[in-house]
Chain A
Amino acid sequence: MERSVERPIERSIEIKDLVVERGGKEVLHGITTYVEKGTVTGLLGPSGSGKTTLLRSIVGVQIVKSGSVVVCGLPAGAKELRYKVGYVTQTPSVYADLTVRENVCYFASLYGLGTAAADETIRRVGLAGEANQMVATLSGGQRSRASLACALVCRPEILILDEPTVGQDPVLRDELWGHFHDLAAQGATLLISSHVMDEANRCDRLILIREGVIIADGTPAEIKATTGTADLDQAFLKLIRSRMEVG
């Protein structure tokens, strides 16, 4: 965990006092955090903790009540960011009545890219054999990889992935995480939400969220050290318990 001290931390995403209401209920209660450029950051928390709402705020499709979200120095949702930010929703949002290739080619065309870029991306997510298959006939895991391919095809600087590895087979999941780290090594910034703790160990930094509040952040090693536990599941539990005693 050594970092060259002279290089300043460059923040791709900067969030200050973010408050979001959904359906008349406050779901994010003043979130302040950041995501460092060129890293894989995990957003961890149980279902209903506000992960998706936070990600939606970062890509600029969520109406926020107060606070600020700055991405690459621009307010979230700015027009210029639509060329830089890739977003994969939790339920795969691809056209079920088209083939994988037709889907990815469409998203490629939005950025002026051709079929070569689409085919390359389909190969990278491991769907080369299914390229000409209708999305409706794919398995859940394949479908979410097709959705991932649509976001990867423009090689975005920032990738926001909402539970991208749910339902994937372990070998593929491992490959995808390897791929995410490759992208980060090439300078991309990834924010990946998950509720699976064993994936958290593969992140450079973790943000733990529960009931719309950040309860911890840091590297997996730091979080384990401060809680004095050997695994992140225990660490998360300990953090929640200690907060409940205080509150």
Chain B
Amino acid sequence: MSLRILFSTTALILRQLRHDRRTIAIMMGVPIILLTLLHYILEDNELLFDGISLLMLGIFPFTIMFLVTSIAMLRERTSGTLERLFTTPVGKLDLLFGYGFAFGMAAAAQASLVTAIAYWFLDLDTLGSPALVVMIAVINALLGVALGLFFSAFARTEFQAVQFLPLVVFPQFLLCGLFVPREQMASWLNTISDFLPLTYAVEALQEVGMHADPTATMWHDIWILVGVILAALILGAVTLRRRTP
């Protein structure tokens, strides 16, 4: 791994993104539109809006980054650029962390913007600090990036890669406690949700919503998420092969 190559790879991916204005607009605009819709749907129930929109601030970056990263990585594989990069001094980790940093920065911009709008214009209210919300949102985005990089290895085409979204993301939506609190689920469902990373993201955000100061549970959740991100990146590196059949 080389810092110089890592940074120029990060810059490369950010440049690609910068040329793609439409993707930037969708990335930044869609969460705002959805959150605004939610605001008006739950106009009469402020408490419910606070609870759901707070979780959405974590779920949007996770979902969007998962999708963007898995397609971007698949494009590297199918366009031949990945094979070519493997004949150059680029290391697997340069590439994976390059993607992680670049999309992580995009996610930080997205999370800051959406969170700011949620607090200022949509009257989101939490006991904890909005800065913690942004931090957890960025960690969720990185989780999306890491899982996207890993799962892209199992798709041959972009068509297949898109199908991984319902497979990887939707079960986590259903079981993370967004629809039904986890304590009320059947014990086997509860057990499954223990193994799904989004569960910890949601719990961490709920902690910020209900406590003025960061809690031990929140930090515990964050460390689990960081562990999953690193594990997914390492597994992603294993799926990248210099030599192919």
Contact = CB atoms under 8 A, between A and B. Distances in A.
Q: How large is the interface on A (under 10, 10 to 19, 20 to 34, 35 or more residues)?
A: 20 to 34
Ranked nearest first, the 3 interchain pairs of A and B with the lowest CB-CB distance are A93-B80, A109-B8, A93-B84
Interface string B1-20: 00011001101100110011
Given A93-B79, A93-B80, A93-B81, A110 B16 contact: no
B68 to A, nearest CB: 13
B90 interface: yes
Given A83-B89, A110-B8, A98 B84 contact: no
B158 interface: no
A87 B84 contact: yes
Contacts of A102: 12, 15
Main secondary structure of the interface of B (DSSP, over half): helix
Interface residues of B, number: 24
A20 to B, nearest CB: 9
A63 B243 contact: yes
Interface string A23-66: 10000000000000000000000000000000000011111000
B86 A91 contact: no
15 contacts: A21-B245, A22-B245, A61-B83, A61-B242, A63-B243, A89-B84, A91-B80, A92-B80, A94-B81, A96-B79, A97-B20, A98-B19, A109-B8, A110-B8, A111-B89
B20 A77 contact: no
Contacts of A96: 79
A102 B14 CA distance: 12
A129 interface: no
B87 A62 contact: no
Interface of A: 21-23, 59-63, 77, 82-83, 85-87, 89, 91-98, 102, 106-107, 109-112, 134, 150
Contact of B89 (A82, A87, A92): A82
Contacts of B9: 106
A91 B80 CA distance: 8
Contacts of A87: 84, 87
B89 A106 contact: no
B130 to A, nearest CB: 34
Nearest to A136: B19
A134 B243 contact: no
A85 B87 CA distance: 7
A162 to B, nearest CB: 10
Given A77-B242, A89-B80, A134 B19 contact: yes
Interface in B65-107: 79-81, 83-84, 86-90
B4 A109 contact: yes
Nearest to A134: B19
Contact of A82 (B8, B83, B87): B87
Contacts of B16: 95, 97-98
B88 A110 contact: yes
B45 interface: no
Contacts of B5: 109-110
B244 interface: yes
A85 B84 CA distance: 11
Contact of A110 (B15, B81, B89, B243): B89
B244 A61 contact: yes
Contact of B8 (A98, A106, A150): A106
Nearest to A20: B245
Contacts of A110: 5, 8, 88-90
Interface string B41-82: 000000000000000000000000000000000000001110
A96 B19 CA distance: 11
